[in-house]
Amino acid sequence: MNAFYTTAADLAAGKKIPAEYDPSAHLIYSSPATLAYNSPGAIGFGVKRAALTIPESVMLLIAPASCGRNSTILSAEEHYRDRMFYLLMNETDLVTSRHLRKITQAVKEIDELCHPKVVILCITCVDALLATDLESICEKTAQETGLILVPSTMYALEREGRKPPMVQVHDTVFSLLKRKPVDPHAVNLLGWFSPIDPESDLFPLLQKAGLTKIRQAAEMKTLDAYQKMGEANFNLILDPEAAYAGEQLYQRLGMPYLEIPRVYAPDRIHHVYQLLAKAVGITIDDDEWYAKGKRKQAELPGGRRIVIGEMCNADPFELAAFLAEQGYVIPEIFSNVISRNLPTIKRLAKLSPETKVYTGISPSMINFQADAHPDLTIGKDAGQWYPNVPCVEWNSEKQPFGYDGFIKLADRIKEVSA
């Protein structure tokens, strides 16, 4: 059996996304390129580390030993182990739920040890399957301890549901916000659990337009500073994963939000900024940055063969379509496909209909033949499939955005292509 793929043209023409792109429809192949997928907490910002974006918080993970071991290793690697505590479950706990009666005492012990302002209770798949009422447990424990308790769920089986873990945890992070008197100069940026590159043009352009108080949860060091995010005139959603949290803040606090995508084509960046300006009723003068982006775009050589993966700070299909417009050849993309990708895939199909779209999680990938002969790859997973080809990983925690993001990516592509 050959490794499964669909061409961009077939995906664009089809009415239904093939089941091979749906992780809930088949077994998952654990290749090196899927290590970030197998668990919501595998690397980088999984549920546990993401929830700890709440400042002055610690987490009590209520889990079987296997999940505890996983979290112990990852928390050490990602430098948050001093904020992690564990209440381990055994087989008797699974049958009787007696571990739930130990939670309040565990929280009291944590309080005696480090005096946190917030304790996040995180359950895993087993408690989710047992329908544990975590909200009620948090309310009861808060009454008995006087601490702020926040419920969180690391439920991998819901990865493809309405609220996947990494969507739900965005809502968790902002669940403590309270509405404050609105400051017309304040805006919150929602999208990632690490800050946007401080050199991004997004900041000076918003400031010049009068939005001088720009806040991100990842930069809030205290709970008081975090609560100032309740002053925002509106929230700016920069990544689709944060859209649900934005909607919840609107429903709960009446805090409006706008969504703008991260794109890499300078013309599209300019278009996004002008749409934002029109929606908010401000002027965004990005002419200087736009000119810089167009000059950098003209420097891209084109003609090279680039394979793109999904483990990068970009929508792989949007990036592929832009690079195809620049004259690059895109023989392969490694990525799952969901409905929101289809408009961009249709754009790509007009330029590169034969681009093969593989999904790294398919069991058939055990038979993958690396024969696209790329000149370079973009994305950590693409680099795994072509280990002997120069790779622009482009997945640092410092998030690129706007013209500055494009310029830095273009410089990396030129550097690796030299």
User: 102 and 74: one domain?
Assistant: yes
Q: How far apart are CA 335 and CA 358, in angstroms?
A: 6
User: 194 and 232: one domain?
Assistant: yes
Answer yes or no: is 375 within a domain.
yes
Answer yes or no: is 236 within a domain.
yes
User: 347 and 400: one domain?
Assistant: yes
Supply 321's token pair: 């379509």
User: 212, 244, 259: which is the final residue of a domain?
Assistant: 259
By CB atoms closer than 10 A (0-12, 13-18, 19+), residue 24 is: exposed
pLDDT at 126: 79
Cβ–Cβ < 8 Å for 240, 170: no
pLDDT at 179: 97
Q: Which residues pair with 57 in a beta bridge?
A: 118
Answer yes or no: is 220 within a domain.
yes
Answer yes or no: is 267 within a domain.
no
Q: How far apart are CA 9 and CA 397, in angstroms?
A: 33
Q: How far apart are CA 348 and CA 343, in angstroms?
A: 9
Q: How far apart are CA 351 and CA 28, in angstroms?
A: 31
What contacts 77, CB < 8 A, 6 or more positions away? none
Q: How many Cβ atoms from other residues are within 10 Å of residue 284's Cβ?
A: 22
User: Cα 26 to the chain's mean position, in Å?
Assistant: 23
- Can you give the chain as a three-state secondary structure string? CCCCEEEHHHHHHCCCCCHHHCHHHCCCCCCHHHCCCCCCCCCCCCHHHHHCCCCCEEEEEEEEHHHHHHHHHHHHHCCCHHHEEEEEECHHHHHHCHHHHHHHHHHHHHHHHHCCCEEEEEEEHHHHHCCCCHHHHHHHHHHHHCCEEEEEEECHHHCCCCCCHHHHHHHHHCCCCCCCCCEEEEEEEECCCCCECCCCCHHHHHHHCCCCEEECHHHCCCHHHHHHHHHEEEEEECCHHHHHHHHHHHHHHCCCEEECCCCCCHHHHHHHHHHHHHHHCCCCCCHHHHHHHHHHHHHCCCCCEEEEECCCCCCHHHHHHHHHHCCCECCEEECCCCHHHHHHHHHHHHHCCCCEEECCCCHHHHHCCCCCCCCEEECHHHHHHCCCCCEECCCCCCECCHHHHHHHHHHHHHHHHC
Range of the domain at 143: 47-160
Q: What percent of the chain has pLDDT over 90?
A: 71
Q: Where do we find the tokens 């699974």? A: 94
User: 373 and 408: one domain?
Assistant: yes
Strand 356-358 and strand 5-7: the pairing is antiparallel
The model's pLDDT over 44-75, given as tens digits with 9 standing for 90+, comes to: 677 888 999 999 999 999 888 777 666 666 66
Cβ–Cβ < 8 Å for 417, 396: no
Cβ–Cβ < 8 Å for 229, 215: yes
Answer yes or no: is 168 within a domain.
no
Answer yes or no: is 40 within a domain.
no
Supply 103's token pair: 């939670």
The model's pLDDT over 168-209, given as tens digits with 9 standing for 90+, comes to: 899 999 999 999 999 999 999 999 999 999 999 999 999 999
User: 259, 276, 310: which is the final residue of a domain?
Assistant: 259
User: 60 and 156: one domain?
Assistant: yes
pLDDT at 413: 94
pLDDT at 243: 96
User: 204 and 317: one domain?
Assistant: no
Answer yes or no: is 275 within a domain.
no
User: 300 and 248: one domain?
Assistant: no
User: 105, 125, 160: which is the final residue of a domain?
Assistant: 160
Considering only CA atoms, which of 313, 299, 312, 307 is closest in space to residue 390?
307
User: 111 and 138: one domain?
Assistant: yes
Task: Quote the number of domains for the chain.
Answer: 3
User: 200 and 136: one domain?
Assistant: no
Sign of CA dihedral 178, 179, 181, 187: positive
Q: How many Cβ atoms from other residues are within 10 Å of residue 411's Cβ?
A: 13
Cβ–Cβ < 8 Å for 398, 382: no
Q: How far apart are CA 25 and CA 5, in angstroms?
A: 16
Q: How far apart are CA 329 and CA 320, in angstroms?
A: 9
Strand 356-358 and strand 183-190: the pairing is unpaired
User: 365 and 391: one domain?
Assistant: yes
pLDDT at 25: 76
Q: How far apart are CA 57 and CA 83, in angstroms?
A: 7
pLDDT, one tens digit for every residue, the chain (418 residues): 799 999 999 999 988 899 888 877 777 777 655 555 444 334 567 788 899 999 999 999 988 877 766 666 666 566 778 899 998 888 887 777 888 889 999 999 999 999 999 999 998 877 777 778 889 999 999 999 999 999 998 776 555 555 678 888 999 999 999 999 999 999 999 999 999 999 999 999 999 999 999 999 999 999 999 999 999 999 999 999 999 999 999 999 999 999 999 999 999 999 999 999 999 999 999 999 999 999 999 999 889 999 999 989 999 999 999 999 999 999 999 998 989 999 999 999 999 999 999 988 888 999 999 999 999 999 988 999 999 999 999 998 899 999 999 999 999 999 988 7
Q: How far apart are CA 13 and CA 301, in angstroms?
A: 31
Q: Which residues pair with 61 in a beta bridge?
A: 86, 122
User: 372 and 293: one domain?
Assistant: yes
Answer yes or no: is 348 within a domain.
yes
pLDDT at 64: 83
User: 226 and 298: one domain?
Assistant: no
The CATH number that applies at residue 59 is 3.40.50.1980
Supply 58's token pair: 């610690």
